[in-house]
Amino acid sequence: LLLMLSVLLVACGSSESSNNGNSAAGDSGEKKVLRISLGLNDQTPLYQSSLKFKELVEEKTDSLEVEVYHSGQIADDRSAIEMLQFGTLEITIPSTAPFTTFVPEYGIFDLPFLLTDTKIVDSVLQGPFGDKLAEKASSQGVIQLAWWENGFRNLTNSKKPIKTIDDLNGLKIRTMENEIHLAAWSAMGANPTPMAFTELFTAMQQKTIDGQENPYPTIHLEKYPEVQKYLTETNHIYSPFIFLISQKTWDGLTEEEREIVKNAAIEAGEHNRNLSRETAVSSLEELKGLMEYNKIEGAELEAFKAAVQPVIEKYKSTIGEDFVNEFLAEIEKAQQ
């Protein structure tokens, strides 16, 4: 029995290493495997659109196979990005926030209350400015092939309704691993803690934190109402997803395969934007029946904006003053 077991183990080991060999090096004659690492679960628009990407790639070529892993099965956002750099993972689709430690310019999205609707978002990202920013990723051993959508972020907590900025006082909020988010929530009076997405549900369940902020589809489909009672519409941040592929993987693809992968990432990105937006509407409807909901607006919204203004000013230079000004000009152009 022991002998059989060790033979089996060796067989498993070798098939795994040959599979890794395929994905990294792309041995001729065998399929190259593109694994996608996602933090969100298999109910979310992110996962559904990753399946769309798989379908688009696999219908165009027999040489590539796409495998989609959800719920942080492979890694959290930051570790997945590092794996791409090492060439030990092929694709990940993280939020931009944890990517700012690699490329600070992505921090424009972390400046609160600047992007206010999807029309402006599309006009800024689906054009030359979006392309220019995406090109900056390649300095880090990863290539951004497309803009996908996480969505507008809103606040939940287990303690009390948040109606005024004073209600945030001392509230323990999980943020993404991002300096500007920490500074912004501190400026609004909360007590923020950075944490990988993969640890978030347990932290809410065990009450080591009181609240968190994410787009409606995540709040609903990751079942946060099971551990959070209050939902506050703040729309404080527009959070993009970035479709990243390892430079090492890219180098191992033929010209034709690159074309297929890039086009599929863009087309599935369009699918993702539509699905995310539809789901944001339906998820909010569902959430209103499961949580106590209110919206920050009018004078109260102005108080939130005023509190984070010094943070915006402070981080302009970290991101790059000229680049932030270019971003602001793009927003203004889109508003006309």
* Interface contacts to ligand KDG, rule CB under 6 A: 38-40, 46, 77, 94-95, 150, 176, 197, 214, 239
Residues forming a β-bridge with 152: 238
Compute the least distance from the CB of residue 98 to ligand KDG, in Å: 7
Task: Give the pair of three-digit tokens for residue 250.
Answer: 């890219």
Helix (H, G, I), strand (E, B) or coil at 151: strand
Residue ranges with strand state E in the chain: 32-37, 64-69, 91-92, 142-152, 154-157, 172-175, 191-194, 211-214, 230-233, 238-246, 292-295
CA distance 167 to 186: 13
Residue partners of 132: CB distance under 8 A and separation at least 6: none
Burial 221-242 (b: 16+ CB within 10 A, else e): bbebbebbbbbbbbbbbbbbbb
In whole angstroms, the minimum distance from the beta carbon of 184 to ligand KDG comes to: 14
Decide whether 95 or 100 has the Cβ nearer to ligand KDG.
95
Half-sphere exposure of 200 (CA within 13 A, CB side): 30
- Measured from the CB of residue 60, what is the shortest distance to ligand KDG in angstroms? 25
Q: Do the Cβ atoms of 58 and 65 come closer than 8 Å?
A: yes
Residue nearest to ligand KDG (CB): 39
Nearer to ligand KDG among residue 100 and residue 214 (C-beta): 214
Rank residues 78 and 316 by Cβ distance to ligand KDG and give the closer one: 78
CB nearer to ligand KDG: pick between 26 and 217: 217
CB of 180 to ligand KDG, least distance (A): 14
For 17, the enclosing helix (H) or strand (E) is helix 2-25
Nearer to ligand KDG, 39 or 130 (CB): 39
Least spacing, CB of residue 321 vs ligand KDG, in Å: 27
Q: How far is the CB of 56 from ligand KDG (least distance, A)?
A: 20
Contact 94, 72 (CB under 8 A): no
Q: Based on CB atoms, which residue is closest to ligand KDG, 46 or 108? A: 46
CB 120, min distance to ligand KDG, A? 20
| CA distances (Å), origin 135, targets 123, 130, 146, 211, 242 | 18, 9, 11, 35, 12
325 Cβ contact list (under 8 Å, min separation 6): none
Residue with smaller CB distance to ligand KDG, 93 or 308: 93
